[in-house]
Amino acid sequence: MRILVTGGAGFIGSHLIDRLMTDGHEVICLDNFYTGRKQNVLKWIGNPYFEMIRHDITEPIRLEVDQIYHLACPASPVHYQYNAIKTVKTNVIGTLNMLGLAKRVKARIFLASTSEVYGDPEVHPQTETYWGNVNPIGIRSCYDEGKRMAETLTFDYHRSNGVDVRVVRIFNTYGPRMLPNDGRVVSNFIVQALQGKALTVYGDGSQTRSFCYVSDLVEGFLRLMNGDFIGPVNLGNPDEYTILQLAETIQRMVNPDAKVTYEPLPQDDPQKRQPDISRAKKYLNNWQPTVPLEAGLEKTIAYFRDRLEA
């Protein structure tokens, strides 16, 4: 198949491309390199079945493809808040452009949504039927309301125009090729520990998160895209850790001498986030994460060690 991956030079997109290329597909990677890097897809450049297009999805584009994985959007608060209006445009105009393309060429389109659509959830763990508790005017709303609108558009194109859609809600994912400076907790702690700095915990560290290794996520993407269930479906690791537990694990694995310091919680930081993955198990052929946290952290630490040395 000929497959378009928007945001393909980013963290998750590049792992997805590795898998699609290895499976023998023809891949078009479309990216404006805001948070993505050519290095992430370097090994495919020059391969006749791989094409790289520098393009901003807020502008329309015409391409002939069979499937679209729509991932383009900065994912970390540092980057999506840097230009909040641009983040809204990417989520709304960008998603409209991709849905228009899918409609025109009759491609199946897969939207990468997020657990952020649940906001600071009052239901725990979060099931896909929960509508969320989102602040519409907060500093995270360009992203979470943007993704909610992207989901709305996707389901309206499905209902009104018969576009073949798939929607996934991704929970915290980590792995090699995350950016060292993006302020996400796993990369923050690893980089701080490798640099011999103190690990910064926001709040008292009792807030919880779940962490899914990127290869598990990509396996879920393929099952959703190539199955009959349209979603939305949660993909994430239901194992819940407090931020302090994560800090202590990374401290032990990288640098037992590293200290832990505490800073105030940022605005609208959710207290709890844990996916209910019953739907994924039911509709995606019993999908569940297989990579234990320490095994995934080992690979991620090795990547950051190489990158910081380089």
List of residues contacting ligand NAD (CB under 6 A): 7, 9-13, 31-36, 56-58, 71-75, 90, 94, 112, 114, 170, 172-173
Q: Phi then psi for 39, rounded to 5 degrees? A: -55, -30
What is the closest distance, in whole angstroms, from the C-beta atom of residue 257 to ligand NAD in the complex?
29
Is 69 considered catalytic here? Answer: no
Nearer to ligand NAD, 76 or 251 (CB): 76
What is the closest distance, in whole angstroms, from the C-beta atom of residue 196 to ligand NAD in the complex?
26
Nearer to ligand NAD, 41 or 244 (CB): 41
Nearer to ligand NAD, 172 or 192 (CB): 172
Task: Tell me how far apart the alpha carbons of residues 121 and 70 are, in angstroms, rounded to a whole number.
Answer: 25
What is the closest distance, in whole angstroms, from the C-beta atom of residue 173 to ligand NAD in the complex?
4
69, 80, 118, 143: the catalytic one is 143
What is the closest distance, in whole angstroms, from the C-beta atom of residue 176 to ligand NAD in the complex?
12
Nearer to ligand NAD, 7 or 258 (CB): 7
Please spell the DSSP secondary structure of the chain, one letter per residue: -EEEEETTTSHHHHHHHHHHHHTT-EEEEEE--SS--GGGGGGGTT-TTEEEEE--TTS------SEEEE--S--SHHHHHHTHHHHHHIIIIIHHHHHHHHHHHT-EEEEEEEGGGGBS-SSSSBPTT---B--TTSTTHHHHHHHHHHHHHHHHHHHHH---EEEEEE--EE-TT--TTS--HHHHHHHHHHTTPPEEEETTS--EEE-EEHHHHHHHHHHHHTSS----EEES---EEEHHHHHHHHHHHH-TT--EEEEPPPTT--S---B--HHHHHHTTS----S-HHHHHHHHHHHHHHHHH-
Nearer to ligand NAD, 258 or 275 (CB): 275
Enzyme catalytic residues: 143
